[in-house]
Amino acid sequence: MANILSTGTSALIAFQRALSTVSHNVANINTPGYSRQTVDFEARSPQFIGAGYVGRGTQISDVRRVADDLANARLIDSGGELARLQQLSSLSGRIDSLMSESTTGISGLWSNFFDSVSALSSNASAPAERQNMLGQANALTTRFQQLQGQFDRLSTEVNSGLAASANEVNRLTSEIALLNGRIGSAQTASPDLLDRRDQMIRDLVSLTGGTAVQQDGGAINVFSAGGQALVVGIQASQLTTVADSYRPERQQLALQSQGQTIRIDERVMGGKIGGMLEFREQVLDPTQAELGRIALALGTTFNAGHAAGVDQYGDAGGAFFNVPAPAVNNHAANTGTARLTGSVDNLGAIDGRNLVLQFRSGAWTATDASTGNSVPVTGTGAAGDPLRVAGIALEVDGAAQESDRFLLQPTAQAARGLSVAITDPGRIAAATPVQVQAALGNLGTGKPGNVRIPDAADPALRTPSTIDFLDGDQYMIDGDGPFAYTPGDTISANGWSFVLDGIPAAGDTFSMAPTAPGSSNNGNAALLAGFDDGPALNGGSLTLNGAIAGLTTAVGSATRHAGYAAQAQATLHEQAVTSRESISGVNLDEEAANMLRLQQAYQAAAQIISTADTLFQSLLGAVRR
């Protein structure tokens, strides 16, 4: 009878705990990272009664979670990559919207400006057309500045995101290390504790990318995508942000471990943090540099063309745009007094990439800031022999010390500094400095075309000149010559040139004279109107219009690529989630069946105890009689 009662009691207790486990599963069906738990039963040690062994009931040998290490590893890996791609896609999409939308992009105002220049060339003396051109120029430069401001805000958001993510990483690494200690010191770890640690590891890897490695004793080590140890046993590293050595406004990541602070190469980070860094390095910086290159090219080429004309006051055209100089930042650890000042040396050779210049062994070297590849550099840095690198001339003021470094940003800040240099519409140099006219008595059909100014700095540019044709094959200029002539040849002198349309006859005369103040001449405005289609970049193979179209296309392409990659990874991640859930997830139908089965078993065990009680009461009754 005692054996019956003990057997029934053991079963009752075991089934009660099994029912509690099923209830726990159902209660946590929506808990992130929860793994279904199962109860393992085993028979209790039997009792020897002389004739043999009699069973003593059942007991729970283990309450374990249903988990698969490979499925968990796959989920951790896919989650980190998905977080990286989603972050990259989201931020890239904002750049794409800025550049492609008509209300925020540059293309519309760019076209409006050159349309206004073209309109001025049709009516060069009209005050309204001149004022309209200034207004469109101001609108265009303001848009350049606004876009640069938006890029600065995105950079600030990345800085804030890195700081917030670093704090979250530190919280997770500390808790994972703490859980490693608790799990490693326990003989049988709680399934809920293991689930909690796995979920934290997934959250950590979604921030940094990387892997989790099981070690002896139950602890798990976590490494970032670049191999940096974030958690080793019960030791947790701390992630922090530090100011960039060249640009203090930009934050970089560093790892604090065992009393050392080690800067992390941003190219090897994964997860959400890696997505932010990749966006800044691969999308934001190149877009900002290319927009600045376009602004620099616009200001430089338009100023050169504007200087080749004269305004309504008869003065030579000055700078139409204020164009900022290339930015040069010194390294925080420099010990010398050297300061570098940059200027445009060869616009066609400027590609916008950032360069690091270093003074070593009495000479200057240059490397690409992104790749580390060497870039040719010539000159000494003196005023008469500046350093020349990638289309930029640099003068060195002060003395550089060994290993001093400088970051050259040829175009990154150009969009911010571009502005209109004139406020008086009369100062727009729409006219050419000189005009050519055919003498009334000319007998040939030659008519002078537009005058061009190849050399606006020629001191004799505005000196009156006379071109006399001796016959249709040769001419004199101010008594010099004769010069051979073939129809279609360019006639040039004193910094000006023009082409005759038609065939001149012997004795024909053409006179070149300075343009008078208040002239309605539109020669220079007509040339300026076509500057957007002039080959100014990439060694003369890329026009300004082509550069703008290429920038918009490049940003859109990068955004679409990131979006497609994120969509594909989302599918892979969903498969990983489904794979894990098929093993570890809670199935309500299955749990309901288990609950019904255990309930019936529990009732049967209760009936065993009831039967034992009845037998015991019957025995007591027999004794009392």
| Full-model pTM | 0.87
Which token pair is 288?
A: 């900002």
- Compute the average pLDDT of residues 549-575: 94
- Residue 609 is classified by DSSP as H
Can you name the residues that pair with 252 across neighbouring β-strands? 242
Q: Are 81 and 569 in contact (CB under 8 A)?
A: yes
Residue 1 predicted with pLDDT over 70: no
Range ranked top by mean pLDDT from 116-125, 188-197, 286-295 = 286-295
Q: pLDDT at residue 560 above 90?
A: yes
Taking residues 331-336, report their average pLDDT.
92
pLDDT of residue 605: 79
Q: What is the mean pLDDT of residues 193-221?
A: 91
What's residue 144's pLDDT?
Answer: 96
Q: What's the DSSP call for residue 270?
A: -
The pLDDT value recorded for residue 570 is: 95
Which residue stretches of 123-215 are H helix? 127-185, 191-208
pLDDT of 40 > 90? The answer is no
Determine which of 22-26, 122-126, 133-137, 247-251 has the lowest per-residue pLDDT on average: 122-126
Q: Average model confidence (pLDDT) for the chain?
A: 90
Name 54's bridge partners.
47
Residue type, 287: T
- pLDDT above 70 covers a percentage of the chain that reads 98
CB 343: neighbour CB atoms within 10 A? 12
Summarised one tens digit per residue, pLDDT across range 153-200 is 999 999 999 999 999 999 999 999 999 988 876 567 888 899 999 999
pLDDT tens string 337-373: 999 999 999 999 999 899 999 999 989 999 999 888 9
What is the model's pLDDT at position 186?
Answer: 57
What integer pLDDT is reported at residue 625 of this predicted model?
58
For 255-276, the pLDDT digits (tens) are 887 778 888 887 788 999 999 9
Q: Average the pLDDT over 572-589 and give the result.
A: 91
> 521 near 430, Cβ under 8 Å?
yes
* DSSP secondary structure code for residue 284 in this structure: I
Q: How far apart are CA 511 and CA 476, in angstroms?
A: 12
How many angstroms separate the Cα of 587 from the Cα of each of 30, 188, 583?
A: 11, 25, 10
Other C-beta atoms within 10 Å of 566: how many? Answer: 22
Question: 73-77, 90-94, 342-346, 606-610: which has the minimum mean pLDDT?
Answer: 606-610
At 185 the pLDDT is: 64
Query: How confident is the model at residue 420, as a pLDDT?
Result: 96
Per-residue confidence band for 149, with pLDDT thresholds at 50, 70 and 90:
very high
The count of other CB atoms within 10 Å of the CB of residue 382 is 10
- In this predicted structure, the answer to whether residue 143 has a pLDDT above a threshold of 60 is yes
DSSP tag of 390: T
pLDDT value for 2: 59
Helix (H) or strand (E) holding 490: strand 490-493
Task: Provide mean pLDDT across the span 449-473.
Answer: 88
Coil, strand or helix at 353 = coil
Give the model's pLDDT for residue 565: 95
Residues 35 and 40: their CA atoms lie apart, in Å, by 16
By mean pLDDT, which of 260-269, 394-403, 553-562 is the weakest? 260-269
- What is the model's pLDDT at position 126? 87
Q: What is the pLDDT of residue 455?
A: 86
Residue with tokens 């911010």: 416
